[in-house]
């Protein structure tokens, strides 16, 4: 019956085009919305995901990693005394104003880390080396934000809280979920830019000895560091991600967009497949009169739906890849990993075949005696 | 052989009941061409539908080659139709997206015949009905007579022992109608098939071995070819 399914589908090219437009539109919207959502998940907590730390020490009750408040440096020595703790480094993450050469200001987040610690530093560095950050006024920015920050080339300068910030390196693809890009620098520079006292930091990043149980160490740290919260890296990542993606509503909005797109697509496909079934109702009646079992009818309708899904998906995924690729140079990337492409295919099939349920019901209720009516 | 005894078909209940057939008795013999005639609404097509296991009886008996089918559940009827009957419809009921050959193939594929063999048999059947040069034409490109010949080929696909035809010449001009009946009668007699035809068309009566007249759901007259002569 695949012959009948194929031929019926292509016999009415206008209807096929309408069906495909509906499928492509729906799938592209789903890919964009969900891809944005995946991008949000990445950018909302990348600073934690790439920190290299096992545990974070923070002031009590912070809502997310971008909302830290100062801690006293003395906590570091207490933390170092806990068995299983290999290294404790200072990390400052705070919002400051970046004054462009032209005079306007942009909000940025200074990320200051201890050089050589292997924790808290930038990743995807494409220009400059870590040793370049040792200079008093040296910072790394991401290429994506260079224009926004008024930087045209390596060596250009700006002003942060009255101090010079000289760009000595670039990263690629380090986005910030907020509109304030990350500016990496040494911890000492960060203290100056953020106007932190000499004995203050915002976080301690802790690396544990290999094979040590993080929960055991955390429990001991909690007993010693009474005025601080201790998070695993994963906890901090999730806490931050949950806040930005869900509590702000950004993620929910994109997910709702994806769900609505799915509904729209299903409705369009259901309507076109249903009207096609009505148009072909006499043929289905003839098939039944000839002795075709109901499953033969299902096969024809489901095959038509599946063929439509495959054709629509083929176009949609090309468009989606193009959109995803184009978005990588922007602030809001639309991610389209292979698993999502595969999941979208399954979704397309499910949407189209699910949308044909009404048609199947209609077709199986046909009275084959109708073929005798002229 | 088809044996019908006291067959009734009722629609509705109570005071609004409509009797489409009221106690019909009929024997259809193997290899005969039987014509059912009567005015519109007399029950001809209802009887044909019930013989073909498309409509179920309200009461009575239909026996086909010793097998009682009137009380069979709905789920078993499609298989019976597939194995015993070929249908020819007044409106041709061809699949508009399929070529002439594919229209015949579909009947064979339903019977479980593989694609290659179905294609060969479909080509052969269409040759026999004089459409060997129209294999790849879709119905929209065929005349009424040609469409009905495709329908005949489809009905004959898989060699069913019984052909049921509902007004096969109604939509055709006299020349095409005659040509269609010639083919149908010739192919039926070659393989000793039973053919039951519902028709209004007096021009085709001479093809029948026997004619049955129906009125108001009852058989009112039988006429054999010898009697008519």
Nearest CB among A7, A288, A369 relative to B98 is that of: A7
Number of inter-chain CB pairs under 8 A, A vs B:
75
d(CA B30, CA B160): 12
Nearest CB among B45, B79, B166 relative to A291 is that of: B79
Q: Are residues A320 and A266 in the same domain?
A: yes
Q: What's the average pLDDT block by block, 10 residues per block, for chain A (374 residues)?
A: 88 88 89 89 93 96 93 92 95 95 92 96 95 93 94 94 94 91 96 93 96 94 92 95 87 86 83 82 88 89 91 95 90 90 93 85 80 67
Q: Are residues A291 and B85, on separate chains, in Cβ contact within 8 Å? A: yes
What distances in angstroms separate CA A339 from CA A270, A306, A343, B35, one per listed residue? 26, 20, 6, 65
Q: Are residues A353 and A262 in the same domain?
A: yes
Torsion of CA A54, A58, A61, A63, to 10 degrees: -70
Beta-strand pair B194-198/B162-166: parallel
Q: Are residues A212 and A114 in the same domain?
A: yes
Q: Return the pLDDT at A373.
A: 64
Q: Are residues A368 and B54, on separate chains, in Cβ contact within 8 Å? A: yes
Q: Are residues A26 and A65 in the same domain?
A: no
From B4, B33, B34, select the one nearest B21 (Cα to Cα).
B4
**Residues of chain A found within 8 Å of residue B48, distances taken between Cβ atoms:** 372
ipTM: 0.89
Q: Is A235 contained in some domain?
A: no
Please name the residues between 273 and 332 in chain A that touch chain B, using a CB distance below 8 Å.
282-283, 285-293, 296
Residue of B nearest to A292 (CA): B78
Q: Are residues A15 and A127 in the same domain?
A: no
**Residues of chain B found within 8 Å of residue A283, distances taken between Cβ atoms:** 93, 95-96
From A246, A311, A334, A363, select the one nearest A9 (Cα to Cα).
A311
Q: Is A120 contained in some domain?
A: yes
Beta-strand pair A163-171/A125-127: antiparallel
Please list the residues that pair with A110 across neighbouring strands. Answer: A94, A183
From A221, A230, A195, A218, select the one nearest A61 (Cα to Cα).
A230
- The answer to whether the CB of B212 falls within 8 A of the CB of B7 is no
Average pLDDT over residues B176-189: 85
CA–CA min distance B94, chain A (Å): 8
Whether B227 shows a pLDDT value over 60: the answer reads: no
Q: Is A51 contained in some domain?
A: no
Q: Report the first-to-last Cα separation within chain B, whole angstroms.
A: 25
Q: Are residues A80 and A190 in the same domain?
A: yes
Q: Are residues A320 and A350 in the same domain?
A: yes
Please name the residues between 5 and 64 in chain A that touch chain B, using a CB distance below 8 Å.
7-8, 10-11
Number of structural domains in chain B = 1
Q: Is A53 contained in some domain?
A: no
Q: Return the pLDDT at B175.
A: 85
Q: Is A49 contained in some domain?
A: no
Q: Are residues A161 and A121 in the same domain?
A: yes
SS3 at position A87: strand
**Residues of chain A found within 8 Å of residue B45, distances taken between Cβ atoms:** 372
Whether chain A has a CB inside 8 Å of the CB on B72: the answer is no
Q: Are residues A10 and A80 in the same domain?
A: no
CA–CA min distance A356, chain B (Å): 20
- Tokens coding A272: 């076109």
Long-range contacts of A226-229 (CB under 8 A, 24+ apart): A227/A59, A227/A60, A227/A75, A228/A57, A228/A58, A228/A59, A228/A60, A228/A71, A228/A75, A229/A57, A229/A58, A229/A59, A229/A60, A229/A61, A229/A62
Whether chain A has a CB inside 8 Å of the CB on B87: the answer is yes
Whether chain A has a CB inside 8 Å of the CB on B56: the answer is no
Number of structural domains in chain A = 2
Banded pLDDT at B225 (limits 50, 70, 90):
low
What pTM value is reported for the model?
0.80
CA–CA min distance A1, chain B (Å): 8
Place of tokens 């200079």: A135
Q: Is A144 contained in some domain?
A: yes
Q: Are residues A7 and B95, on separate chains, in Cβ contact within 8 Å? A: yes
Residue of A nearest to B165 (CA): A372
Q: Are residues A31 and A81 in the same domain?
A: no
From A104, A91, A240, A110, select the one nearest A182 (Cα to Cα).
A110
CA–CA min distance B29, chain A (Å): 22
Whether chain A has a CB inside 8 Å of the CB on B159: the answer is no
Q: Are residues A289 and B52, on separate chains, in Cβ contact within 8 Å? A: yes
Compute the mean pLDDT over every residue in chain B, rounded to the nearest whole number.
89
Q: Is A80 contained in some domain?
A: yes
d(CA B40, CA B34): 18
Q: Is A318 contained in some domain?
A: yes
Percent of chain B with pLDDT over 70: 98
Whether B87 shows a pLDDT value over 60: the answer reads: yes
Q: Are residues B81 and A289, on separate chains, in Cβ contact within 8 Å? A: yes
pLDDT tens-digit series, residues B21-60: 898 999 998 888 999 998 888 888 899 999 999 888 898 9
- Tokens coding B159: 């060699």
Please name the residues between 345 and 374 in chain A that touch chain B, using a CB distance below 8 Å.
368-369, 371-372, 374
Domain residues for the domain of B59 are 2-228
User: What's the CATH code of the domain at B91?
Assistant: 3.40.50.300
Nearest CB among A8, A282, A369 relative to B54 is that of: A369
Q: Are residues A188 and A294 in the same domain?
A: no
Q: Are residues A66 and A181 in the same domain?
A: yes
Domain residues for the domain of A264 are 2-43+249-372
From A105-114, A304-313, B120-129, B189-198, the region with the lowest mean pLDDT:
B189-198
Residue A167 phi/psi, 5-degree rounding, is -80, 115
**Residues of chain B found within 8 Å of residue A3, distances taken between Cβ atoms:** 98, 102, 105-106, 109
């Amino acid at each position: 019956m695949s012959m009948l399914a194929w031929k019926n589908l292509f016999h009415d090219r206008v209807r096929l085009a309408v069906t495909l437009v509906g499928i492509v539109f729906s799938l592209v919207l789903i890919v964009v919305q969900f891809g944005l959502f995946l991008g949000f998940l990445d950018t909302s907590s990348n600073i934690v995901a790439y920190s290299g730390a096992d545990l974070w020490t923070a002031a009590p009750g912070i809502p997310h990693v971008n909302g830290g408040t100062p801690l006293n440096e003395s906590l570091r020595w207490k933390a170092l005394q806990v068995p299983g703790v290999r290294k404790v480094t200072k990390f400052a993450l705070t919002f400051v104003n970046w004054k462009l050469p032209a005079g306007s200001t942009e909000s940025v987040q200074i990320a200051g880390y201890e050089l050589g610690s292997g924790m808290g530093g930038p990743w995807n560095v494409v220009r400059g080396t870590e040793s370049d950050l040792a200079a008093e006024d040296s910072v790394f920015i991401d290429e994506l934000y260079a224009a926004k920050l008024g930087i045209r080339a390596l060596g250009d300068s700006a002003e942060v809280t009255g101090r010079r910030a000289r760009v000595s390196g670039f990263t690629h693809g380090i986005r910030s979920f907020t509109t304030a890009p990350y500016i990496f620098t040494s911890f000492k520079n960060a203290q100056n830019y953020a106007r932190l006292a000499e004995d203050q930091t915002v976080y301690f990043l802790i690396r544990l000895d290999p094979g040590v149980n993080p929960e055991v160490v955390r429990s001991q740290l909690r007993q010693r560091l009474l005025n601080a919260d201790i998070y695993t890296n994963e906890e901090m990542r999730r806490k931050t991600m949950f806040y930005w993606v869900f509590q702000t509503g950004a993620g929910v909005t994109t997910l709702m967009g994806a769900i609505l797109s799915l509904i729209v697509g299903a409705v369009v496909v259901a309507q076109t497949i249903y009207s096609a079934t009505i148009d072909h109702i006499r043929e289905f009646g003839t098939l039944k009169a000839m002795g075709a079992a109901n499953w033969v009818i299902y096969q024809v309708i489901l095959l038509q739906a599946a063929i439509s899904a495959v054709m629509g998906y083929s176009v949609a995924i090309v468009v989606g890849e193009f959109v995803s690729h184009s978005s990588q140079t922007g602030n809001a990337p639309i991610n389209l990993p292979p698993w999502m492409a595969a999941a979208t295919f399954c979704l397309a099939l499910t949407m189209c075949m699910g949308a044909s349920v009404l048609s199947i019901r209609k077709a199986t209720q046909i009275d084959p005696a109708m073929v005798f009516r002229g | 052989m088809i044996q019908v005894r006291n067959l009734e078909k009722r629609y509705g209940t109570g005071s609004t009941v409509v009797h489409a057939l009221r106690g019909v008795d009929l024997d259809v013999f193997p290899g005969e061409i039987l014509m059912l005639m009567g005015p519109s609404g007399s029950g001809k097509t209802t009887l044909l539908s019930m013989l073909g296991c498309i409509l179920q009886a309200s009461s009575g008996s239909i026996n086909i080659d010793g097998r009682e089918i009137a009380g069979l559940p709905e789920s078993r009827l499609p298989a019976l139709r597939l194995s015993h009957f070929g249908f020819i419809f007044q409106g041709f009921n061809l699949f508009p997206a399929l070529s002439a050959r594919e229209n015949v193939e579909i009947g064979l594929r339903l019977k479980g015949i593989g694609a290659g063999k179905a294609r060969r048999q479909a080509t052969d059947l269409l040759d026999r009905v004089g459409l060997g040069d129209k294999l790849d034409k879709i119905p929209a490109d065929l005349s009424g007579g040609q469409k009905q010949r495709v329908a005949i080929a489809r009905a004959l696909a898989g060699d069913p022992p019984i052909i049921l035809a509902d007004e096969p010449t109604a939509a055709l001009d006299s020349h095409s109608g005659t040509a269609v009946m010639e083919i149908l009668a010739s192919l039926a007699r070659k393989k000793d098939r039973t053919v039951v035809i519902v028709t209004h068309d007096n021009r085709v009566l001479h093809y029948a071995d026997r004619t049955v007249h129906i009125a108001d759901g009852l058989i009112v007259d039988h006429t054999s070819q010898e009697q008519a002569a």
